[in-house]
Amino acid sequence: MLLETRYAYDETKEFYLAKEVVSFFEDMIENAKEDGVDLWVVSAYRSFETQTDLKSAYTVTYGSGANAFSADQGYSEHQLGTTIDFTTKDLGGGLSGFQNTPAYTWLTEKAHKYGFTLSYPPNNAYYIFEPWHWRFVGTELARDLHDDDKYFYDLDQRTLDEYLISIFD
């Protein structure tokens, strides 16, 4: 589902999320704004082709080092339509330094209430720390991860399936 342009850092770009996620996303953004925190989308759903092009460009520039921060096509959470990369106006639309912003602090404290969780925390086994990269997993799973001080990839697939099947059936 196409997001309203008012959520985009660059209003000339179109961003999409799975329709099941949009109302949670909008509630989160509006409540953050009420708390004085502005969150802006710089990336959301990516098609297989878009992810292929992105990964290819990173590989040309960074060689195999691109594997530390970019998934191959077919493996990116962005292809699920449930993941958003955020920025702030203070960062000029960039990602670097996001962990030092009030937006990141707000997300770590409250995103779980809207079903979102940080995918790649510091020292995870998959990619570099991506403080801007938040994935919708449903309010129940997000709450349990937050309360247990765990992350999505800390859980085994059977446990995850018990939560996720009810969202995307």
pLDDT in tens, 2-44: 999 999 999 999 999 999 999 999 999 999 999 999 999 999 9
Which one, of 94, 91, 133, lies nearest residue 116 by Cα? 133
| Mean local confidence (pLDDT), 147-160 | 95
DSSP state of 3: P
pLDDT category of residue 74 using cuts at 50, 70 and 90 = confident
> Is the pLDDT at 62 greater than 90, yes or no?
no
Residues 6+ apart with CB under 8 A from 39: 28, 29, 32, 86, 88, 103, 106, 107
Which one, of 14, 73, 74, lies nearest residue 43 by Cα? 14
**pLDDT at site 20:** 94
Q: pTM (2 decimals)? A: 0.91
**pLDDT at site 22:** 98
